[in-house]
Structure 1
Amino acid sequence: MLAPGAVVAVIKAEKMVNPGLQALTAAALMLPGLVNSTANAADGDEFNFQYGRYEESARDLNGVKSQYKPITVDSLHSGGKVNLTDRIKFAFNFIQDTWSGATPITTAPSGRQGNQPYRQFGTVAGASPYIQTGGDGIETNTVYFDRDLKPLLVDPDSLFSDVTSLGQDRKLVHTMSTASPETRKEGNFKLSYEWDEAAVDIGGGISVEHDYESRFGNAGVRLDFNQKRTTLNAGLSYTNSDSFARLSDHFTKPYLNYIAYQSQLKPVTKDQSGDTQILGKRDDWGGNLGLTQVVNKDALFKLGIGFTHSQGYLENPYKAVTAFFIQPVGLPSLGEFSSTIPFVGIGKAFLEQRPDYRNQWIFSTGWVQHINPLDAAFHFDYRFFHDDWGINAHTFEGDWVQPLGAGWSITPRVRYYSQSAADFYHPYLIVGPSADPGNANLASDNAKLPSAFSSDHRLSGYGALSGGIMLSKQFSKGIRLDAGFEYYTHQGDLKLGGGGEADYADFNYYVANATLNVNLTTLGRSLADDPHAHHRHHSHHHGAPLPAGLMFGHVMSTPGDVMVGYRYMYSRQDGDMLYAGKTVSDRAIVDNGCIENGGTCRTVPEFMNMHMHMLDIMYAATDWLNLMVMPQFMDMDMNARPLSGITPAASGAVDHLHGGHDTGAVGDTGMYALVKLFQTEGHQINMGLGVTAPTGKVDIKLNRMHKFDSGYIHYGMQLGSGTWDFKPSLTYTGQASDWSWGAQVSGTKRLEARNSVGFALGDAVQSTAWGSYNVLDWLAASVRGIYTAQGAIKGGFQALPGDCAINYNQNVVQPCVDINPKGGSMDNPKNYGGHYWDVGFGLNAMIPDGAFAGHNFSVEWLQPVEDNVNGYQLERSGTLNATWMYAF
């Protein structure tokens, strides 16, 4: 978004600031929509895990009911801060965003009426309104204009020889474009060194997407004066970015003018698949200066200034501008028209062009006031943004942080934003009238375009109003849970002084997030004051260590105990294609791989990666019963390759060979009861009874063509089962001296025959046995064997209401079965499941003392030994499991 981000000056005035004010200030920085400042929110070691959801409302398309869903973004953020020494601190963050849905790419009058032979009058509509712009031989639509060059509506019953005006067309409409899910991943760090009245820090990171990559670094300094009542912050940053956007020809032909590309200021290329590709480089330099003054024990004043210089490729490669080249209607090729319509505009769409540099300034100020009678804090901030693109923006925001007692606090927040339009913003362009009505030379026409133009509504004049609330619960021993929600409305009418963009560009969105924060230092202090803490650490330490990939192996025996944990699993498939347990040729897959799916295989997976992040939250209700909840976040990426020997040969347009496929969001949520069945010295038997709720998406779609609705992405790329599943387990563990061992049988039973889109994953059973030896008092090594059997998928994708595809050029409905792609081996439900054998090698560390005393870290690698798969599948490469757990 164009709206400038908050400039947050975090200060430390430990001796003079009211402690309540400090805590409330830190809490407010975590509100939805603000820059995440968790690493600065509290002293000491800490870890946080956050999930967020962003979802836009549908756009007003002037009566056209779009089949495209609005943009949604699922975000995962995990990070932490560690005190390496008393003065050296290290902070790190991992951020992942996966988004999908439709976004505007260009704008034009809503009553775009065509007047070409063999084409009806009327807006070309369906999944989204769009205009044919003359690309690669496609006929161009025309729009009629009056003598003041205002667009006109025309009578759809008019004859070609006598077009009748129905008055001005005062309504604009977006052309919406959708894409398959995409994922961005970012990792960053900060290393700080602190003196008594000063600190320096350096940081950096990298952000990676399929079509964009940026690398950044920063440095900062903090100086305290006046007995730490006054703090000065200064910082510098640099970012280097590369874009390599791919515009698939089959996807962009309906509205982008390909011939026009050749004469645009920034050239484009063709990649190896024949798609149009835009390569660009960008550099950003920034600096900021902030001053914070403690006014008194209850008040704080902030002042800041920031500057950023950007140069290089600053365009959004997926945004276009529709230009209408005006010509008199008296053209021999178009016939004689009514005198009420003096001009016709030939529509062409061009990639947007922005200046090659941008200078941005931000001025900010703020006040924090502690309200003693209510033990609350009021925050008010104002920011002014200015750049040399002609944008001036004002941001006002305030929040009230109110403790409720017993560790609870609530923080309502309101924010108002207003900006003026960029100098080169135009919803659409008018070029002409042409001096040569018969001119068909696009290069000559393109020369009449301005040097910079964009119809990106984020560069328009508008206002925005948002309100949010955050609820926080601080538990004893350093655990905090936060949940936030914010609703935002974007409207041209909300612009200060009026004159904002028309209501066609209005939309709303909401952001919801939840955060688990574990302050390890606070936790350690609380355990030091607990007379039973040493006993609990001792018992956990001498319990049988479990391999990282094993769950449900331990039951806590002290009622009231809590365990928190984080699990990460990474698995990869690549290499040969298999049939049963043997390598198979491309020819065999072409002939047989998709027969049961009613088609011929054209592609197979080249590789597939899966990442799973899980939280373990366990509570000991009694000495024999533990209750457990396990939310999880998943993301996957896959690349397909064409099979040799198919006719016709695979292509990007038909087989979607335009790079990797991504999915990512919340997976299914597990809820379990762990029961201790038997325990004696050195031996324990536990039973797990659980279910998983179908919170993971199973209806994710892969965009295949602009003219047709999307098809479901492959079964293995969906994020859940879509069914309620029963998950029992039985675990035995034993221990003698430095040796420990165990065995487990677990299973998954689908409780529903079909999910909402028509299929059910196969039932599964797994058995495993392991042995472990304490190499050191705190470190154990393990070896494990695993056997897994899983059935094939039952049923298959079925079309839902609204899923039938429409050919918008010919106004015909395609069979609903087209919603189920059949061109790849991964699209056949029979090509899933099988029998698998693995061997695992692991390490388990229980930290005995120091800042991380009682924390358990484990890692395990599972190496495939044999794959006996159902149908045709890609062989497995291995699985990595890593866990952190802490019980208190």
Structure 2
Amino acid sequence: MAVISPEKKPNPGLQALTAAALMLPGLVGSAANAADGDEFSFQYGRYEESARDLNGVKSQYQPITVDSLHGGGNVKLTDRIKFAFNFVQDTWSGATPITTAPSGRHGNKVFEQFGTVAGASPYIKDSDNIVYFDNKLQPLLVDPDSVANGDVVGLGTDRKLVHTMSTASPETRKEGNFKLGYEWDEAAVDVGGGISVENDYESRFGNAGIRLDFNQKRTTVNAGLSYTNSDSFARLSGHFTEPYINYVAYANQLKRVTSDRSGDQMIMGKRDDWSGSLGLTQVVNKDALFKLGVGFTHSQGYLENPYKGVTAFFIQPADGSLGEFSSTLPYVGVAKVFLEQRPDYRNQWNFTTGWVQHVGWLDAAFHFDYKFFHDDWGINAHTFESDWVQPLGAGWSLTPRVRYYSQSAADFYHPYLIAGRSAAPGQSNEASDNAQLPAAFSSDHRLSGYGALSGGIVLSKQFSKGIRFDAGFEYYTHQGDLKLGGGGEAGYADFNYYLASGTLNVNLSALGRSLADDPHAQHRHHHGHHHGAPLPAGVMFGHVMSKPGEVMVGYRYMYSRQGGDILYAGKTVTDRAIINNGCTENGETCRTVPEFMNMHMHMLDIMYAATDWLNLMVMPQFMDMDMNSRSLAGISPAAHPAADHLHGGHDTGGVGDTGIYALVDVFKAEGHQINMGLGVTAPTGKVDIKLNRNHQFDSGYIHYGMQLGSGTWDFKPSLTYAGQAGAWSWGGQVNATKRLENRNSAGFALGDAVQGTAWGSYNVLDWLAASVRGIYTAQGAIKGGFPAIPGECAINYNINDVQECVNVNPKGGSMDNPKNYGGHYWDVGFGLNATVPDGAFAGHNFSVEWLQPVEDNVNGYQLERSGTLNATWMYAF
């Protein structure tokens, strides 16, 4: 797995998660390394930051949270050839610092007429945005009455600093990577690559490595090379538009956004990274191992974070003249904010060493590692980490871990800048202002001097036949005072976070060995599907395991897409009809409609046979969605384009609702089976995700269809019949969803639903079946709706610096009308179902199915459906 360093990736939430992930054993990357046998892993992680210190004012923004999903595996293609693959998905939201300034800079204001803190302190705003300094250029506290009288009186220095926070709607990053390796008896080579994609950043990478074994494999040398090419296309809007931010230095990298009416610009950047590493592993004795390594990375191109600014104060005498400075009068620092400017290249060196010691009398292992980092930006960093792996018996193990990190500040790091006089301080976009600044500058606190201490623990349970579950937790604290030798950044940059994860790992080689030792299991897996006839991938609750104590683990993936025309009932409608009628339930005129919407669902199936007639199931799921919208043709220009949800699309992602079910065997005879499912889904998916406009204010709730769950406890019964005769099998199912609450915490409830399906299947081969299925679904419209945001409006400063109120819960899109949900739908499905008969994968079931919409008879005005893909993997033991 490619690890993106904090300075390579401008997205702060993902940087934090990536850095944190490297500290927790097994969180990310374990599947990317070569394994002795075939294995698959599935992992979910949750990262959450603490609030920043805003000098006594509570921010209206939530801190950064990140939901991370990781799936991967290692497969032996032959005795010599191995293939590894990984998929990583991170969805983050919340507030992150964009610049730093003295707290006296007219920040931390409470606007009483709105009853809230407007923005986070201090404002990025030119007019009347000043700080007074003494003759040593230290920020001053001043008597406000004296300012009003025009005779400024200083009350002493005030060195407190504070971040300006910025927030954004949820964003999602997806990464896929692979590695292909070939092994000889005493050597191995591998090549790999991958891609990481999100709305404003894309990187592609490739790597190659070699391993050489000497001294009867007591000595191993590893060498590797990698190359990464990245593109940034960050949208400059809100705080990041003129005149709030000066980005004249990047004039040749700007591109106007043409997909909507906002007039925003994107800053385009490219970068390249080349890395090389060399490592040595030496077996010291039967209980000890020594590691040594060195690495080098050269980066060039656009190395800045496009969402970080630096506040510069242009000094003027307090009387406003351009004459000589006085030794008694305070100076006025007129604030201007500039996009940070870093060097166009960076060279980084890493030196690592480590020791692994087996402690025989405890049957434990102790790991200690030290890394020294140096770069030509002036940063020197030390990392000390250790963990203790302690088996507890009965397949349990406990791994506590501690890590300490300390770094010096980059040469060009400054919390803020003091610049020379400006002849026209109100003009913030003149190249002459840039000329008074250093060649490189950044106030990104990750480039400051600081120390970090973290501790975590992982609890693992190894079940029989190769199933392992890991649960981990880590707490991290970032503080300037923890820097080695002192002199770190002030406490305003301190923060904490926690990281929790759960991992399910399936070792296919161990499963294969257990089957080889069990002739009855071999018989079951070689001769048919011992849990019944093959089912289409989209059918759940189809079979009951009949052997008490039996366990089944599985993974389900579903992708669905909506795209094309807007329908009313079952017919295509014009934009004018949508404008006139699509949002009348909201008392609004429709302004926008969705262009497309994609939904991805990842679900784990964990089933246990409590008796020969009762199975218990837990089904956690992870959701992510993305959608883009367009302005309706013929609508008048929007007074507030941001209120039309035209920001280049929306992403949401995270934990969905969790299913808890009991599956009961009602009837069973030769070739026939009937079972009944009774269950509920717990409302673990969020239903109050909000949009954020211009990196400042809540713009209301994101659309109902992009929330992650129902928000209500839901009853989900099902009744299934399955039959089989020779190579033919067939079946039918009726299932329903009944909302057990009238409203969720966000004020609405999804409509009840009922679905009926019937299928037929034929075994093309002994191990491969093809299926055809028909599905009818009926779902009611949404009941209730999102409440108005308290205050009904928020402060927005437009380019003329005029204070105005805008609706913070816009309802001008067809997808914001709760009546435009639900309907009656017909689909036909085509599927394949394979059960592997031999080898390490014997008994593993893989199935895939495509559902093609036949008819959409929708409630209200909705985007037509394009289709759904279902894919599953299951194994019972």
Same fold (TM over 0.5): yes
Q: Secondary structure at the match of 1:703?
A: strand
8 Å CA contact 2:714–2:738 kept in 1: the answer is yes
1:395 paired with 2:383, answer: yes
- The more displaced of 296-305 and 524-533 is 524-533
1:52 paired with 2:45, answer: yes
8 Å CA contact 2:300–2:345 kept in 1: the answer is yes
Partner of 1:866: 855
Query: Structure 1 pair 707/215, CA: closer, same or farther in 2 (3 Å)?
Result: closer
Partner of 1:306: 295
Counterpart of 1:593 (choices 582, 598, 603) is 582
8 Å CA contact 2:313–2:336 kept in 1: the answer is yes
Deviation at 1:587, TM superposition (A): 0.4
Partner of 1:680: 669
8 Å CA contact 2:767–2:836 kept in 1: the answer is yes
Partner of 2:154: 165
Deviation at 1:738, TM superposition (A): 1.0
Partner of 2:12: none
Q: Secondary structure at the match of 2:698?
A: coil
Partner of 2:660: 671
1:465 paired with 2:453, answer: yes
Counterpart of 1:530 (choices 492, 511, 518) is 518
1:197 paired with 2:186, answer: yes
Deviation at 1:554, TM superposition (A): 0.4
Partner of 1:502: 490
Q: Counterpart amino acid of 1:271?
A: V
Q: Counterpart amino acid of 1:478?
A: G
1:329 paired with 2:318, answer: yes
8 Å CA contact 2:691–2:698 kept in 1: the answer is no
Q: Distance in 2 between matches of 1:819 and 1:587?
A: 25
- The one-character-per-residue Cα deviations of 1:334-354 (angstroms, maximum 9, x if unpaired) are 9x9998543111111000000
1:770 paired with 2:759, answer: yes
- The one-character-per-residue Cα deviations of 1:611-668 (angstroms, maximum 9, x if unpaired) are 0001101011111000011010110000000001112348643323221210011100
- The one-character-per-residue Cα deviations of 1:58-103 (angstroms, maximum 9, x if unpaired) are 0000122111100011000000111000000000000000000000
Alignment of 1:162-241 (within 5 A): 162-241=151-230
Counterpart of 1:797 (choices 786, 800, 814) is 786
- The more displaced of 163-172 and 292-301 is 163-172
Partner of 1:40: 33
Q: Distance in 1 between matches of 2:766 and 2:170?
A: 47
Deviation at 1:847, TM superposition (A): 1.3
Q: Distance in 1 between matches of 2:630 and 2:86?
A: 34
8 Å CA contact 2:334–2:425 kept in 1: the answer is no
- The one-character-per-residue Cα deviations of 1:42-66 (angstroms, maximum 9, x if unpaired) are 4111100000111100000012211
Q: Secondary structure at the match of 1:455?
A: coil
Q: Distance in 2 between matches of 1:679 and 1:386?
A: 69
8 Å CA contact 1:32–1:468 kept in 2: the answer is no
Q: Distance in 2 between matches of 1:490 and 1:242?
A: 30
Partner of 2:75: 82
Query: Structure 1 pair 655/435, CA: closer, same or farther in 2 (3 Å)?
Result: closer
Deviation at 1:528, TM superposition (A): 1.4
- The one-character-per-residue Cα deviations of 1:123-149 (angstroms, maximum 9, x if unpaired) are x95330133443xxxx25111111011
Q: Counterpart amino acid of 2:284?
A: V
Deviation at 1:163, TM superposition (A): 2.3
Q: Give TM-score scaled by structure 1 length.
A: 0.92
Deviation at 1:798, TM superposition (A): 1.9
Alignment of 1:558-569 (within 5 A): 558-569=547-558
Counterpart of 2:477 (choices 471, 480, 489) is 489
Q: Distance in 2 between matches of 1:313 and 1:636?
A: 30
Deviation at 1:432, TM superposition (A): 1.4
Q: Counterpart amino acid of 1:370?
A: H
- The one-character-per-residue Cα deviations of 1:722-768 (angstroms, maximum 9, x if unpaired) are 01100000000111111111110000000111111100000000000
- The one-character-per-residue Cα deviations of 1:506-555 (angstroms, maximum 9, x if unpaired) are 00001111000000010110121124312432352583111100000000
Counterpart of 2:270 (choices 278, 281, 284) is 281
Partner of 2:13: none
Deviation at 1:806, TM superposition (A): 3.4
Counterpart of 2:122 (choices 123, 130, 140) is 130
Query: Structure 1 pair 49/378, CA: closer, same or farther in 2 (3 Å)?
Result: same
Query: Structure 1 pair 283/707, CA: closer, same or farther in 2 (3 Å)?
Result: closer
Partner of 2:738: 749
Query: Structure 1 pair 513/811, CA: closer, same or farther in 2 (3 Å)?
Result: farther
Partner of 2:837: 848
Partner of 1:112: 105
Q: Counterpart amino acid of 2:96?
A: T
Q: Distance in 2 between matches of 1:333 and 1:230?
A: 71
8 Å CA contact 2:531–2:545 kept in 1: the answer is no
Q: Counterpart amino acid of 2:615?
A: N
Counterpart of 1:827 (choices 800, 816, 828) is 816
8 Å CA contact 1:368–1:378 kept in 2: the answer is yes
Q: Distance in 1 between matches of 2:230 and 2:249?
A: 25
Q: Distance in 2 between matches of 1:722 and 1:611?
A: 19
Q: Distance in 2 between matches of 1:130 and 1:255?
A: 16
1:475 paired with 2:463, answer: yes
8 Å CA contact 1:758–1:798 kept in 2: the answer is yes
Partner of 1:356: 344
Query: Structure 1 pair 442/194, CA: closer, same or farther in 2 (3 Å)?
Result: same
Q: Distance in 2 between matches of 1:517 and 1:868?
A: 43
1:615 paired with 2:608, answer: no
- The one-character-per-residue Cα deviations of 1:365-410 (angstroms, maximum 9, x if unpaired) are 0000001111111110000000000000000001111000000000
Deviation at 1:610, TM superposition (A): 0.2
8 Å CA contact 1:709–1:804 kept in 2: the answer is no
Q: Counterpart amino acid of 1:126?
A: A
Partner of 2:62: 69
Q: Distance in 1 between matches of 2:119 and 2:772?
A: 55
Q: Counterpart amino acid of 2:593?
A: V
8 Å CA contact 2:269–2:302 kept in 1: the answer is yes
- The one-character-per-residue Cα deviations of 1:660-700 (angstroms, maximum 9, x if unpaired) are 21001110000100000001111110000000000101111
Q: Secondary structure at the match of 1:444?
A: helix
What residue ranges of structure 1 are gaps of 5+ in the alignment? 6-27
Deviation at 1:153, TM superposition (A): 1.7
- RMSD, matched Cα: 2.5
Q: Distance in 1 between matches of 2:773 and 2:659?
A: 24
1:700 paired with 2:692, answer: no
Q: Secondary structure at the match of 1:709?
A: strand
Partner of 1:268: 254
Query: Structure 1 pair 799/86, CA: closer, same or farther in 2 (3 Å)?
Result: same
Query: Structure 1 pair 182/343, CA: closer, same or farther in 2 (3 Å)?
Result: same
What residue ranges of structure 2 are gaps of 5+ in the alignment? 9-20
Partner of 2:643: 654
Query: Structure 1 pair 437/860, CA: closer, same or farther in 2 (3 Å)?
Result: closer
1:556 paired with 2:545, answer: yes
Q: Secondary structure at the match of 1:179?
A: strand
- The one-character-per-residue Cα deviations of 1:561-615 (angstroms, maximum 9, x if unpaired) are 1111111000000000000111011001111111101211111000000000011
Counterpart of 1:91 (choices 84, 93, 111) is 84
Q: Secondary structure at the match of 2:839?
A: coil
8 Å CA contact 2:89–2:173 kept in 1: the answer is yes
Q: Distance in 2 between matches of 1:333 and 1:133?
A: 23
Deviation at 1:850, TM superposition (A): 2.1
1:783 paired with 2:772, answer: yes
Query: Structure 1 pair 292/286, CA: closer, same or farther in 2 (3 Å)?
Result: same
Q: Counterpart amino acid of 1:653?
A: A
Q: Counterpart amino acid of 1:750?
A: R
Q: Distance in 1 between matches of 2:770 and 2:428?
A: 75
Q: Distance in 2 between matches of 1:106 and 1:587?
A: 45
Q: Distance in 2 between matches of 1:739 and 1:227?
A: 56
